[in-house]
Amino acid sequence: MPDLLALEWDHDQVAGVAAEFDGGRVTVRQIFTLPRKFSGGDLLPNDWLRGELNRLEVAVPAETLVSIPRDDAFLRRLELPEAPPEELPGMVRFQVGAKSSVAIDEQSLDFLPLRRLGDIPGCDVLAATAPLTLLETIRVQVAAAGSTLRFAGLSPALCAEWIARAESQLTGAREGISLLVSRHGTRLEISAFRASLLLFSHAARLAGDEGGEPQSIVPEVSRALVALRSAMADAKFDRAWMLVSEADQQVLGPALERRLGCECQALRFATATELQLPLTLPDEPLQSQFAGPLALLLTRVAPRVPQIDFLEPRKTVVKPDNRGKQLKWAGVGAGALAASLLVGQTWRLWSLDSEIESLRLRDSQLAAEIKKSIPTDEAVALVRKWQGEGVDWLRQLADLSGRMPATDRLYLESLQLVHTNNQLPKIVAHGYAREQKDVRELSSGLHTSDRYRVMPYQAARSNADTYYPWKIDGQEILLAASSKEAKTATGAKSPSGKGIPDSGIRPESNTAQANPAQSSTAQSRAAGGEQTTGSRTSGTPSLKRPERQPVTKTSLQPSTGRENSAEVFRTESVPASTSGADATVQPAVEQREPSATSQPAAEGDPAPAAASQVSPRSAQE
């Protein structure tokens, strides 16, 4: 959403600019025009501006600035006697009220102090008035659009910002008068500036929908110069500026140079380094319509000249009445003696109250810290309990890898490691084998050990891998329960119908004694570079297969099944390396937290174990 919205409230249209502030720069986000055409007549509905902005999808910011055309305001140059600055607003208001045909209470009045040349005493001001009805209409429209009107300036005075920036790039003295001719559609404004301050301004409406031919501008400029010389007989022009289209410059430039006898240049928006314009601007004849709104943005970031503000005009500074203060000081002096007797006691009581309040605050802070630590202590206890009741899956994978046959006969595609509450942990295997007897030999070899119990399973043929036609889909391998787990897993049965013996998870040395063949296989794998340590392995088990087949990489990920607080680990196929070497299966363990307040285990602690729950079919078997 833009930070500011700048509008030029003309008779037949409203030109607007939406911009954002970034430090000392202004970035223009959107430029638009809103035709003021309404079928109900000249009186616009209160929500007209909101509807037009919504139609163009213009976001309405919190603040809005408005520029009023010259022909909607009344300008008068006043010569006043020498007076302090705080008295000028009252004098200007009195002079304008005496010379105006409209009641001063029906107008908003502001003025610009001017610099007087020479040694003649006095001061000059340029007074400007605008109808309160026009300002109220703009305020209602802006409020209905959801914004707040913060500034209402005058178009010729705002153009002084462009004059100040353009003349700052010129060399030489700038004591003379600069003339600006700007055309905004059918509206023509001729303004005179001295030292970048507005001295004079004249406005006219050109005939035709688009303002007619460029030659129609020259007579209006001549009329404005006659009026200017009548007010300032010693007016001498140093330069002239044009804010018109390229076609108007070709006609107006030579005419102004002949009439004024000075250089005439085009006024460009690029002179404002604080302004970042969009890449695409409206057509050149329409660009001058946005001189006022863009100058409004410059007054917010880097103003160079004073401005006229009809919303907050300059007001008379009311001098304070010091007689009341003198009486108050007399009363204070009379009671100073009595008050000094109470100061000591009051200060002591105040100090004690402050100390009591500080102690109360400290007590509440300590109570809050104690209350904060309660969930942390509970979470630590819960994590320790969770760690003590789990299974070291990395160790189980290392042991299982040592018991697996060569991959030229059988390989596993994925493993699911499941452990839920009140159930024995289990490993669900998925893979492929060369022959059905390879599956039976694997089941028999694991079942005869004291570490695993293999559930009955019948392999089926599959066309997924022609070299391994027998598919292992969901082979369940139960882990023998430890003494602590055997007490809770009362519902689990062995395949023979008897309770599973309390064998626990034994070291690798015991396993090697019970199964010499498997132990030799594990040693040969370890010699080839696979790490199968007994307690906590730095490298994970390797499941190999021939070079012609893709190797598998274990990616341990939690399943989305119905198990509660379960760990499920899967493997996914990855292409074999170009060198033909076997790939190593490395599971990356990711365990679910037991609760929202759980804290991660400290480095060196055993990996958190997970509870397991076998499927109803496996429990019945």
In this predicted model, what pLDDT tens digit does every residue of 47-69 receive, in sequence order?
A: 899 999 999 998 889 899 999 99
596: exposed, middle or buried (Cβ count in 10 Å: 0-12, 13-18, 19+)? exposed
In this model, does residue 273 exceed pLDDT 70? yes
Q: How many CB atoms lie within 10 A of CB 554?
A: 24
Higher confidence at residue 504 or residue 377? Answer: 377
Cβ neighbours for 107, distance < 8 A, ≥ 6 positions apart: 74, 100, 129, 130, 131, 132
Report which listed range, 124-133, 210-219, 287-296, 421-430, is most confident: 124-133
Per the structure block, which two tokens stand in for 588?
């990356």
Q: How far apart are CA 576 and CA 548, in angstroms?
A: 8
pLDDT at 606: 36
Q: How far apart are CA 418 and CA 557, in angstroms?
A: 11
Closest CA to 23 of 274, 393, 364, 305: 274
pLDDT at 338: 82
Q: How many CB atoms lie within 10 A of CB 79?
A: 12
Q: How far apart are CA 572 and CA 586, in angstroms?
A: 11
In this model, does residue 599 exceed pLDDT 90? no
User: Beta strands 470-479 and 13-22: pairing type?
Assistant: unpaired
* CATH among 1.20.1250.20, 3.40.50.300, 1.10.10.10, 3.30.420.380 for 4-301: 3.30.420.380
pLDDT at 320: 67
Beta bridge partners of 7: 16, 66
pLDDT at 545: 42
H or E element, residue 194: strand 187-194
Per the structure block, which two tokens stand in for 288?
């001058």
* Element counts in the chain: helices (H) and strands (E): 15, 21
pLDDT in tens, 139-179: 999 999 999 999 999 999 999 999 998 888 887 666 788 99
Per the structure block, which two tokens stand in for 600?
């991660």
Counting every residue written for the chain, the total comes to 621
Closest CA to 453 of 423, 488, 425: 425
pLDDT in tens, 288-312: 788 889 999 999 888 999 999 999 9
The predicted model gives 183-199 an average pLDDT of: 88
pLDDT at 251: 86
pLDDT at 308: 94
| Domain boundaries along the sequence of the chain | 4-301, 353-388, 393-620
What percent of the chain lies above the pLDDT cut of 70? 72
> Considering the entire predicted model, what is its pTM?
0.52
Specify the range with the lowest mean pLDDT, choosing from 19-28, 159-168, 203-212, 356-365. Answer: 203-212
What percent of the chain lies above the pLDDT cut of 90? 22
pLDDT at 42: 61
8 A C-beta contact, residue 268 and residue 291: no
pLDDT at 173: 63
Higher confidence at residue 464 or residue 530? Answer: 464
In this model, does residue 128 exceed pLDDT 70? yes
pLDDT at 40: 52
Q: How confident is the model at residue 482 (pLDDT cuts 50, 70, 90)?
A: very low
Q: How confident is the model at residue 39 (pLDDT cuts 50, 70, 90)?
A: low
Q: How far apart are CA 288 and CA 299, in angstroms?
A: 18
Higher confidence at residue 162 or residue 406? Answer: 162
pLDDT at 608: 36
Report which listed range, 69-73, 519-523, 543-547, is most confident: 69-73
Q: How confident is the model at residue 389 (pLDDT cuts 50, 70, 90)?
A: low
Specify the range with the lowest mean pLDDT, choosing from 75-79, 349-353, 391-395. Answer: 391-395
DSSP state of 422: T
Specify the range with the lowest mean pLDDT, choosing from 195-199, 315-319, 361-365, 536-540. Answer: 536-540
pLDDT at 319: 66
Per the structure block, which two tokens stand in for 520?
């030799």
